[in-house]
Structure 1
Amino acid sequence: MATPEFPLRDRIGGVVAVWVLAVVVALAIGVFAEPEWRGAWLPVGLGACFFVAFAIQLAYGRSQGFIVRVSASVLGAMLVMGLVGAGFALAELFAG
C-alpha cells in the first residue's frame, strides 16, 4: 500500500519567509534596543528564527530535504541578521 503524497508546495517560500522574518527582527532590535545591548539581542532573534524555520519546514510534511531546508533557512537568517547588525554598528560608529 502506497502512502498518499501531499500536494507539492513551494519549498523555497518557507526558506525566504524565514529570511524576511530575520530582516524584520534585526530591524526591530536595531531600532528598539539600546546600542550596547544589540549584540546580546541578535542571537536571541536568531534563535527565534530557528524555531520558526523548524516549524515551517515541519508544516510541509515531507522528510526529504528537511535538514537542507532548515539549514538554508537558518544560515540565510544568520547572514541577513549579520548584515543588518553590521549596518547598525556602522551607523552608530559614524553617528557619534
Structure 2
Amino acid sequence: MAADPALAPRSPLVGLVVTWAVAAIGAIVIGIFAPDRTMMTWYIIGFGICVLLSFAVQLVRGETKGFILRVAAGSLGALLVMGLFSVGFGVASLFTV
C-alpha cells in the first residue's frame, strides 16, 4: 500500500533558513565572545553544530526526496554565512586599537 501524498507539503526553505540563522547567530556570538587565540576552533565547532542541525531539521521534515541536497544546501549555506561573518570580524580586528 502506497503512502498518501501530503496535502500541503512543508516548504524546504524553512529548514534551510533555520540552519542559516543559527549559523549567523553563532558566528556573531563567537566573534564577540571567543578569545582571539581560540576563535577559529570555536568557528569549526559552531560549523559542526550547524551541520548536525541541518541534518536533524531535514530528518524532522520527514521527506526522503531531495534529502541529501537539502542537507548539503543547509550545510553549505551555514559555511558561507559563518565565513562571511568571520571575515567581517577579521577585518574589523585590523582596525581596532
TM-score, with length taken from structure 2 = 0.93
Alignment identity in percent?
Answer: 42
The alignment yields a C-alpha RMSD, in angstroms, of 1.0
Deviation at 1:39, TM superposition (A): 1.0
Q: What is the count of residue pairs matched by the alignment?
A: 96
Query: What residue ranges of structure 2 are gaps of 5+ in the alignment?
Result: none
The residue that corresponds to 1:95 in the other structure is: 96
Secondary structure of 2:63 counterpart: coil
Distance in 2, matches of 1:4 and 1:29, equals 44
Query: What residue ranges of structure 1 are gaps of 5+ in the alignment?
Result: none
Query: Hey, which bits of structure 1, 4+ residues long, moved more than 3 A?
Result: none
TM-score, with length taken from structure 1 = 0.94
Deviations 1:50-88, CA, capped at 9 Å, x for gaps: 111001000111110000000000000000000000111
The residue that corresponds to 2:33 in the other structure is: 32
Distance in 2, matches of 1:2 and 1:66, equals 20
